[in-house]
C-alpha cells in the first residue's frame, strides 16, 4: 500500500494529494489511485467514471462546473501532460467557507491531485500548450443536473493566472451565469466529532 502525501488547503474538504513515485534510470512508477490507500483520506468514496480532456492552447479555461443534486459529482483531478491552475469554489450554504475558493497548480511532472468534494464548483486553466487532464468522478454525467458559474465573476474574486483576453473558452462557458443570482442547492454538513 503506497499512501499519498496529503496537504490540506484553505478549505477543509478540498485536499491536495501527491502519490509517491519510485524512479530509476528507466524512469519512474507511481500508484496514482488505490481505493484502499485513498480511503484513509477521502473516506469510502467510490469513483464510477474516468474523464480525460486535452487542451491545445495555453490559457484554455474550463469551468466553473458542477452537477446539482440528486446527481452531484466529487472529482479527483490530475494532469497527464503539461500543467493547470485548478480551482474549487465552496457552494455549500452554511459552510464557514461558503463562496470562498482555493486554487492549486497541478503538473504532470509533480503528479499532484486535487480532490474536489460534492458541493463545489470546479474549473481550471491550462498553463502550457498541449495539456491533458484526467479526473475521476463518483457520479455519472447527468446532463439535466449540469450547471456552472462564470469563471471571472468579481463576486467570487478568483485570482486566475491569465487575463480575460487570454482566456480560451467554450461557447457554453462564455455565457454561464454570475454568482449573485445563484441559489445553491448544496447544504453544508457539520463534520462528525472525532
The catalytic residues are 65, 135
- Do the Cβ atoms of 102 and 10 come closer than 8 Å? yes
Sign of the dihedral through C-alpha 138, 144, 145, 147: positive
Cα(60)–Cα(168) distance, integer angstroms: 4
List phi, psi (to 5°) of 105.
-85, 125
DSSP for 130-183, please give it.
Answer: SEEEEEEESS---GGGEEE--TT-TTT----SS-GGG-B--HHHHTPPPSTT--
Cis omega (within 30 of 0) for bond into 2: no
Amino acid at each position: 500500500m503506497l499512501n499519498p502525501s496529503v496537504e490540506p488547503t484553505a478549505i477543509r474538504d478540498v485536499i491536495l494529494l501527491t502519490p509517491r513515485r519510485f524512479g530509476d534510470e528507466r524512469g519512474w512508477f507511481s500508484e496514482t489511485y488505490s481505493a484502499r490507500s485513498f480511503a484513509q483520506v477521502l473516506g469510502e468514496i467510490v469513483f464510477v467514471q474516468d474523464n480525460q480532456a486535452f487542451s491545445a492552447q495555453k490559457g484554455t479555461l474550463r469551468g466553473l462546473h458542477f452537477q446539482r443534486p440528486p446527481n452531484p459529482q466529487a472529482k479527483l483531478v490530475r494532469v497527464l501532460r503539461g500543467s493547470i491552475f485548478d480551482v474549487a469554489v465552496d457552494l455549500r450554504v452554511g459552510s464557514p467557507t461558503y463562496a470562498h475558493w482555493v486554487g492549486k497548480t497541478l503538473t504532470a511532472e509533480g503528479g499532484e491531485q486535487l480532490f474536489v468534494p460534492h458541493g463545489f464548483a470546479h474549473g481550471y486553466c491550462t498553463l502550457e500548450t498541449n495539456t491533458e487532464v484526467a479526473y475521476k468522478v463518483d457520479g455519472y454525467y447527468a446532463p439535466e443536473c449540469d450547471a456552472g458559474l462564470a469563471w471571472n465573476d468579481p463576486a467570487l474574486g478568483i485570482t486566475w493566472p491569465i487575463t480575460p483576453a487570454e482566456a480560451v473558452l467554450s461557447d457554453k462557458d462564455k455565457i454561464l451565469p454570475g454568482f449573485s443570482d445563484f441559489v445553491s442547492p448544496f447544504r453544508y454538513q457539520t463534520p462528525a466529532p472525532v
